[in-house]
Structures are given as structure tokens and as C-alpha cells.
Structure 1
Amino acid sequence: MPQAKEAYDGRFQPAIDGEDCRPSDPSDADTLWLLGAGLVMAALAATAGLTDFLGEPRVRALRAAWHHMIGNIVAVLAEIVNLWQRLEQGDAFVVPTGLVVSAGVTLLLLYNGWRGWEMVYRGRVGVAD
């Protein structure tokens, strides 16, 4: 589901002017809400994805499906830690650790999107022939 990816990606916006990547408010409520929304959407996407994965042996036979699932699990776990640490440490976690985690998850979601594309267009998952 692209909504989960967009919610995660939407909170990874370092300062364009190069001054500072720290939020103006230590709690950075927008970031916390976007991380939370991304986790909620990821749970909904996981429900649909796990239904396909467990319900169709042909899907489980695809390497791309395994990579997609494992990558998404790692991304969600990283974002749970990201949210938790931002709530616990506030501004101190954002630079540099929070940005590194966010950048890593963004790259991982690009990879997961590619593997999802491969499942649909090469593996014909979810396509009626």
C-alpha cells in the first residue's frame, strides 16, 4: 500500500537551506503523527499482504515475495524503534540517529516497492489471466 510508504517518506524532510536538521519543536508533533500514521497503514497493508502470502502457494514460491515481506517487516520494526526513541529522547535522537534511521528506511522502502512491482509484473501476483 503506497499510503504507508508516503507517511514514512513524508516525515523525512531535512532542511533544504542547510542550516539545521533539528525540528523547531523538540516534540516535533508532525513527525510523530506521520510515523504513527505510517505504522497504522503498514498494519493494514500487512494484513492484506499476509493474506495473499499465506493463502496462495504460488506467491510463497516467489523470492521477490519473501524479500518484499522481510524488507517490510524490517522497515516497520525500524520505524517502531524510530518512533519510540523520538518519544523518549526527543530532539536528541533526531540528529544524527533519527535521520540515519529515516534515510535507511526510505531506501529500504524503495527496494521493497521494486520487489512488489516484480511480484505483480513478473510473477503475475494479483493479476487475472
Structure 2
Amino acid sequence: MTNDDSTRYAADTVAAQWRLFLDGAEGMVDPAMARAAHAQPRLRELFPGVSHGTMFFSRCTGLPAVHVGGQVSPTGDGRFRVRGPLGGATLGVADTPEEAFELIAANLPEGCGPAIIGTADDL
């Protein structure tokens, strides 16, 4: 596979994962959260993941993942807790999902995207 083919395949894989979450992902994540995350161009390049309603992002499509930027969880009162990658320190609490994912995008390291096919070992 050429580098261009690999890049296209990675972009298609990332886009398919985003479609899953944007379409509701069988209740895995609130589609409003997915839409707010997807609206951030830098996040849209990364491989999205969800666990227990918490959304996070990886530099690669496989496991082990390379979590970047942070993660967003609903707090239960209509707000959103924003934590660092892998549940690190709290970065803030946002009133809207848009604000939460803006904070995640702002905390991405320089040059961290787009996601690649593979695992942490491939980066």
C-alpha cells in the first residue's frame, strides 16, 4: 500500500467511526456531543472513541491507542466535565458540548493529527 493509499484508508476509517457516533451509535454517546466534537476540525481528523458515555480521541485507529487532547463526560446536570487524556486532571466544566470540545481542541499538542491506521507502536 502506498503512503497515499494508507492516508486515504486512515481517513476513510476515521470518517466511518465518526458516522457511527453521529448516527447515535446505539446509545453509546449523545449525538449532540458527537456533533459538537465533529464541528472542531482538529478533532475531526482524530479517531473518536467512547466509553461509558465519555468521548475521547486517539492518534491511531488500533489498540493500544494514543489518547490526545482529553475527554468529555456529561455531568448529569446538563454540563460537561473536560479532563485531560486518560482521565487526567480536570481541565474545566463546560455549560455546552460545544464549549467542552473547544477546550479539548485547544489542548491538542501541535502536529497531532490526522490519525493513522495502526497502534501506538506505529507512531
TM-score of the aligned structures, taking structure 1 as reference length: 0.28
**Greater relative contact order structure (CA < 8 Å, 6+ sep):** 1
Q: Which one has the largest radius of gyration?
A: 1
